Chain A
Amino acid sequence: MTTLVPLTVAVPLVAAAAIAAFGRLSPAWIDNLAATAVAATVTVLATILLVASAHQDTIHWFSGWTPRHSVAIGIAFTVDPIGAGLAALAGALMTAAFIFSWGYFEEVAHLYYTMMLIFLGALAGFALTGDLFNLFVFFELMSVSAYALTGYRISQPGVLQGAINFAVTNTIGAYMVALGIALVYGRTGALNMAQAGEALAGKRVDGLVIAALVLLTVGFLIKAGAVPFHFWLSDAYAVAPAPVGVLLTGIMSDLGLHAIARVYWDVFSGATVGHAGAVRGLLVGVGLLTALVGGVMSLLQSDLKRLLAFVTISHGGIFLVGIGLLEARGLAGASLYVVADGALKGAFFLAVAVAVIRLGSSDELRLHGRGKHRRYLGLGLLFAVCGLGLAALPPFGPFLSKSLIEEAARSAGYGFAVPLVTLATVLTGAAVLRATGRIFLGLGPRREPLLSAQPDEPEKGEPEAEKSRRTRIVLLLPAVALLVIGLGVSLAPGIAALAVQEAARFQDRAGYANEVLRGQLPPLPPLVPHVYAAADWAWGAVSVAGSLGLAALLLLRGRLRLFSRRGRFGLVRRPAGVLTAWHTGAIGDYAAWICAGAAAFSVVWGVLLR
């Protein structure tokens, strides 16, 4: 079984090299078929590992460098079900993206497949590794391939602006991660997470440990797009080609959060055990701020890809709340949410790309009423279901995940987070449902001063894509499949209880260290069947009703004569203007925000963790 572990990363990387070497000679369809098969293989391998790691981590020591006398010199992949699940999600999204690109690109160079497969290998490696420096290398590998893919199809300077902003901010994040890892190594002499955690456990938290924690957390939060490190994300995801965007929005940001959970629990939790309140307070606070800022900003966008970028930011904030609560149910909820939401966001990104091809634009206002014809019924339904899914429609995937996070919040004494998390799903759901209503039902005004317009891609119409019915099915099929995964994940029997059990195992630092360094299995946490509380259903209903109501209000407010007077409208418009004005698109401003955010983290944890 452990031989499967390195294959999950090696297969896509070797295939990438093979396509780079021979792709020029083979016709494009062979490249695509091979790449699709590799992505599907990764999905299957990761799923096998997910099942096999249910009771104990699957650990692979490269070249057989196993620990001697509980000292690890070699590099290990330590696979737990959460990491394997994320790798499987990456594989599934990549498979969907490849099937989609079959009908999407008119012509595509073989290097596109090479970069996509490197990206996949890096995502899988990042999710599975148990070594700090390995984590950094995969972080950089997935970043570099993502920068290149974001700027892959340059139709306008905005694409380059987005790609450069992405590259510069994430590179700063990578340097912070590198510095943090260097400090951990300097203190503990270990790069293996389990061994570094053993060395730090029970020791006094001093300035160096705090500096390492701040550097690692901020570095990964830049990748995750948490406020105030999120500015690059909306620029980059708005310009990425559709198949690439699926991976960016569906998995890459959320892996940043997973890394925070990994590094916190495996390395630092033994040292900060007396100060869990300070860690919890800051992470939950940043998560809630991110969820709300992202939610409001998503409502203020007219470009659908940029709208989805802010949905990604907002929901990333909710995941951060789940992780930051430092509770098994919170982490379980966040992990399930990443899978359910990742598949949904991927489906929506593909739906938007289909709208660009068939309706001619990704701008909600320009598309006003263009989807009213019966021909677009399927696409309209896809949009609507994505919107409802993002609004956490009971009893589907996002609802279960959100409920778990809210239960954790209530039992950790953070009950006030529940309405705020629900508000975030209301805002993001309403943003998508409003766009659906405007495009497919022709509701609402054609001009909307609140929404910030982006430069639209030149309208191409792509008649070849329109005429072939087969192409249309190829374009819609992956989106529907992802939608089924995202919504259906909660319907698997006992999934919630299993997720909570695995999350508890994930959070057991001493157990993980014993397992990795000494091969001793810790006792399995109890499997407690999950039962929804009445409050879960109530907040689920509030979320869906709120989303539908808010979307209707925004579309019909002209008819209802709400906010028609200037004065009352100004109440909404002025703060919205301030918020959008901060998103300047200038890389210098973003770097300054990173500096300010990192300083805030240092001050708060520097004072509270000692």
Chain B
Amino acid sequence: MSYLPFAIAGWLFFVGLYGVVTSRNYIHLTVCLTVMQSSTYVVLLAIGYRNGATAPIFAGISRSTKTVDPVVQALTLTDIVVSVVVVALLLSLTMDMFTRAKTVDPDEVRELSG
């Protein structure tokens, strides 16, 4: 097992989080969230990966053929679907924000505090 995918996942998570912390634009912030999310895909796929294995499509291959873990691929797919909803929702909230407050900068909309 290689540690490289896990290092990449950690890098993606933290670089995305850094983007969320410092973002001055809600659209940019949403994209940073998707960068963070990519780390979950990398971890899931890395966990299921096996050297020299083929894709887990069982039609037309012998039962002894080595395949990668299909479960994590299903999880990744679910993860993508679920998170697309979050991104769509955040972007639509951002559009609403722009029509009402004429800005997409989180620091300019600070109605709630204290």
Contact = CB atoms under 8 A, between A and B. Distances in A.
Interface string B98-114: 00110000110111111
Nearest to A170: B86
Contacts of B36: 172, 175
A183 B100 CA distance: 42
A592 interface: yes
Contact of B96 (A158, A160, A178, A589): A160
A586 B110 contact: yes
Contact of B90 (A167, A175, A235, A453): A167
A580 B114 CA distance: 4
A300 B114 CA distance: 9
Given A168-B29, A172-B33, A178 B40 contact: yes
Contact of B21 (A154, A163, A592): A592
Nearest to A451: B114
Interface stretch (A140-148, A255-263, A400-408): A140-148
Nearest to A238: B112
B59 interface: no
Majority DSSP secondary structure for residues of B touching A: helix
B33 A168 contact: yes
Contacts of A455: 111-112
B111 A158 contact: yes
Nearest to A593: B21
Nearest to B82: A140
A452 B112 CA distance: 10
A454 interface: yes
B31 interface: no
Interface string A64-79: 0000000000000000
A256 B107 CA distance: 29
Contacts of B96: 151, 154, 160
Contact of B93 (A158, A167, A306): A167
Majority DSSP secondary structure for residues of A touching B: helix
Contacts of A581: 114
Nearest to A163: B93
Interface in B52-101: 71-72, 75, 78-79, 82-83, 85-86, 89-90, 93-94, 96-97, 100-101
Interface in A452-472: 452-455
B112 A161 contact: yes
A92 B9 CA distance: 42
Interface residues of B, number: 42
B108 to A, nearest CB: 9
A426 B33 CA distance: 39
B90 to A, nearest CB: 6
Contacts of A161: 97, 106, 109-112
Nearest to A171: B86
Contact of B29 (A144, A587, A595): A587
A172 B9 CA distance: 14
Given A144-B89, A154-B96, A157-B101, A182 B17 contact: no
B97 A182 contact: no
A156 B111 contact: yes
A164 B97 contact: yes
B21 A591 contact: yes
A420 interface: no
B15 interface: no
B40 A168 contact: no
Interface of B: 9, 13, 17, 20-23, 26, 29, 33, 36-37, 39-40, 43-44, 47, 71-72, 75, 78-79, 82-83, 85-86, 89-90, 93-94, 96-97, 100-101, 106-107, 109-114
5 contacts: A133-B75, A144-B86, A160-B109, A164-B90, A587-B29
A-B pairs, top 4 by smallest CB distance, nearest first, are A452-B114, A158-B111, A585-B113, A186-B47
Given A238-B112, A584-B110, A587-B29, 8 more contacts: A144-B89, A156-B100, A167-B90, A172-B17, A185-B75, A235-B112, A455-B112, A591-B17
